[in-house]
Each structure stands twice: as C-alpha cells, then as structure tokens.
Amino acid sequence: MRRKSNARTDSPFWAFLFVGPNLILFTVFIVLPIIAAFALSLYDWNLISEPRFVGIRNYTDILNDARALNSVVKTVYLVVLGVVPTVVLSFFLAVLINTTFPGYSVFRTMYLLPIVISFVASAVLWRFIYDPRVGPIAELLSAFGVTGPNWLKDTTWALPALSVVIVWLRLPLGIILYLAALQQINPQLMEAAEIDGAGPWAKLRHIIWPNVMPVTLLILVINLRGIIFDSFDVVQVMTGGGPLNSTDILIRYIYDMAFAQLRLGYASALSTVLFVIVAILALIFNPPRRKPINGDPV
C-alpha cells in the first residue's frame, strides 16, 4: 500500500494538476507579453500604418534620445531616494512595533493605512498635502513664519517630494515582512544576550539584524521592482512628469511614447531595456544560491 501511494503521488500528472493553472496564467500574461514586446521592439509601428521592420534601430535611437537618458537618471534617483529609506524605516518601525509601548496597538493599525488606499487616491491626497496655499505643510510652515517652496512645481523639490509618497506607500509591506522575520528569532538568543549584559543597540546589531538579513534582500528586490514599475500612478497624477521633465521617470516616458506619440516599437524597446535592467539588479541583490554538496557546511 505504501509503494502504491508513493508511486501515485510522485506522478507528474499530479504535479501538473496543481502547478499547471498558475503556470498557464504566468505564461499567457507574463512570458508571452515579454516575447511580444521584444518582437515589437524590432518594428516601427504607430497603430495606423503597417508595421515596418527596422531591426535594432529603436535600441540605437535610445542612446541618442536625451529625454530617454534623462528618464533613466530620474528613475535611478527615485530608486535611491525610495529604496534605502523604505528598508531602513521599515526595519526600525518593525522593531518598535514588535515591542510593547503605550499606544502600540493604535500604531499597529495605522501603519497598514497606505495598503488599503489606492495609489491614485494616495497621490490625490498628497497633492493636497503639498499644496503651497492650503496644504497642511504650508500651514505648518507659515505658523513658524516660513514660506515653503511650491513642492510639485519646483524642479529641485518635485522628485524628493514624490519619493516621500513612494516611501509612505512601500513602508507597510516592508514592516509586515520584517515583523514576520522578527517573530522567528529564537527568544533564547535574546535572553542569553541580556544575561551577558548586552544593551539594546548590541542586540539590534549582533542578533536582530543578522537574523533578518535574508528578508532585507527580499524587501530590496520587491521595493526595487515596485518603485520602478508601480510609481507611474503617483507621478502621473501628482506631476505628470513635470516640471520640465524633472519627474519624467522611465515608466512614464514609455507610456508617453506608446499612447501619446504612438511609437509602439520604440516604447517596446524601452520596455525591453527596462526589463533587462531590473532583471540584472534583481540578480545582484538576490543571486541564486549554489546547492550544497556532500561535505559542504550547511
């Protein structure tokens, strides 16, 4: 009976039965569009005339496109301003939430607020907050006799202002993942550290941080992908890529090329380049692990 059961459960049919639906959906909605985008990047097509094969000309045009290079720089700038603060703040807030302090139950409820609000609604809310006339920030600064800049219309402050919104939107997921990792730390390690006289900073540095390092890499990759691809709604609603293309990140530029200027081949080439960049960065932050060989330490 045991042999029959093992043979039955080890059959490839059962594996495909459970994995197949997800694999089919992944192929239809992820793999095939990626292949189609790469194929389309080799053509010049405006949705009206017949597609015209141009080879790699769309890719060479990117190197001579000042706006495309500017959008890459702005995207890197937004990633730096968004990923690093998100990881640092979510870690320290997760450590704080994982302890007991007056009012911590209210804080545990409030930090999930950005998740239940859509990106567009969040962008509208923050556009009001940044309003230089009636926004809360302007009112607060005016109480101290300070006149703040026009945050979303200033080429210097527009992108940092957007990065604050991005961090606010990305924090809850990072906090949740860090909380899950903190719950897995052996309490005996913390007790042993307290007996040895370790203070809060020593425990944070030598016990907590090393134990959550794998989750940190995961949060880096998730936020990297999320900021590059999911920031379109915030940028489009709050600044529309302005002022003077100072917030014209790459994902918005791709949208403009595809649906405003109807250069679908060129937009597909930009999308392919963006996909390759994200894939390389994901491998850098989370490289594939080598399987241990007999005799290797685990």
205-225 pLDDT, tens digit per residue, is 888 888 888 899 889 888 888
Is residue 87 within 8 A of residue 213, CB to CB? The reply is: no
All domains in the chain, ordered by first residue: 65-285 (1.10.3720.10)
In the chain, pLDDT over 90 holds for what percent of residues?
40
Residue scoring higher pLDDT (57 or 298)? 57
Is residue 257 within 8 A of residue 46, CB to CB? The reply is: no
Whole-number Å distance between alpha carbons of 89 and 171: 7
Whole-number Å distance between alpha carbons of 8 and 287: 35
Q: Is the pLDDT of residue 57 over 70?
A: yes
pLDDT in tens, 249-282: 999 999 999 999 999 999 999 999 988 888 888 7
pLDDT at 270: 93
pLDDT at 1: 46
pLDDT at 298: 43
Helix (H) or strand (E) holding 44: strand 43-44
- Give the count of beta carbons closer than 10 Å to the beta carbon of residue 224: 20
Is residue 241 within 8 A of residue 233, CB to CB? The reply is: no
**13 confidence band (pLDDT: 50, 70, 90):** confident
pLDDT at 104: 67
Q: Which residues contact residue 187 at a Cβ distance below 8 angstroms, ignoring those fewer than 6 apart?
A: none
Residue type, 289: R
pLDDT at 103: 66
**6 confidence band (pLDDT: 50, 70, 90):** low
Q: Is the pLDDT of residue 5 over 60?
A: no
**134 confidence band (pLDDT: 50, 70, 90):** confident
Whole-number Å distance between alpha carbons of 9 and 2: 11
Burial of 294 (0-12, 13-18, 19+ CB in 10 A): exposed
In the chain, pLDDT over 70 holds for what percent of residues?
90
Among 27-31, 53-57, 102-106, 237-241, the minimum mean pLDDT is found in 102-106
Is residue 233 within 8 A of residue 249, CB to CB? The reply is: no
3-class secondary structure, 18: helix
pTM passes above 0.85: no
Q: Is the pLDDT of residue 55 over 70?
A: yes
Residue type, 68: A
